[in-house]
Amino acid sequence: MHGPASVGAAVDHVFAVATAAESHTLDGLLQAVSRHRGRPLRIIENPDLPAGVFGHWIRFTDRDEVSYASWAQTRDRTVAHELGHIVLGHTGSPVLEVAQSLLPADMHDLAVLVLQRECGNSAAADDELAAEQFASLLLNRLRSLGRGAPRLRSRWGEALG
């Protein structure tokens, strides 16, 4: 289970690995996390996500992909939530590997959309809550950095690298 301190430390870590320029936008922070982890992180708008699924993260063996629903009103919130799963070390389901082991190759694309993390147990529920806390803290910090005076933003950039 992730407590508020560990979620806050994860947000701090994301800003710590970001350059000053990256630390001003969510897309910059995504680049920083990708670079720091040494794994490509692709963000994809997906018009075919099922109703009620705003976004999801797929952990492939060589990369990560975060999809968000085209109809989602809060792209940044959805992407930040999925980034939280990544940064907090949640494992999710290796969707492609599961699909390849269970289904014929022509069904793999469908499996990627259908197979998602299990949310019926308390550990998964804790992961969802932690990812939501992470998204709130991350986006609040981005907003507060954007509101600061230029001198303050410069000092944040210096302090965070």
The pLDDT tens digits of the residues spanning 80-107 come to 999 999 999 987 655 555 455 556 666 6
pLDDT score of 77 more than 90: yes
Q: Domain for residue 139, yes or no?
A: yes
Q: Domain for residue 31, yes or no?
A: yes
Instruction: Give the ranges where 89-121 is alpha helix by DSSP (H).
Output: 95-102, 108-114
Q: Domain for residue 29, yes or no?
A: yes
Q: Domain for residue 19, yes or no?
A: yes
Q: Domain for residue 86, yes or no?
A: yes
pLDDT score of 135 more than 80: yes
Domain housing 111: 4-156
Q: How many domains does the chain have?
A: 1
Q: Domain for residue 161, yes or no?
A: no
pLDDT score of 157 more than 70: no
Confidence bin at 120 (pLDDT 50/70/90): very low
pLDDT value at residue 92: 61
pTM as predicted: 0.71
Q: What are residue 69's DSSP bridge partners?
A: 46
Q: Domain for residue 17, yes or no?
A: yes
Q: Domain for residue 87, yes or no?
A: yes
Average pLDDT over residues 55-76: 90
Which carries the bigger pLDDT value, residue 85 or residue 127?
85
Average pLDDT over residues 151-161: 52
Ranges assigned E (strand) in the chain: 41-46, 55-59, 64-69
Question: Tokens 């994860």 appear where?
Answer: 10
Q: Looking at the chain, how many residues does it have?
A: 161
Average pLDDT over residues 46-69: 88
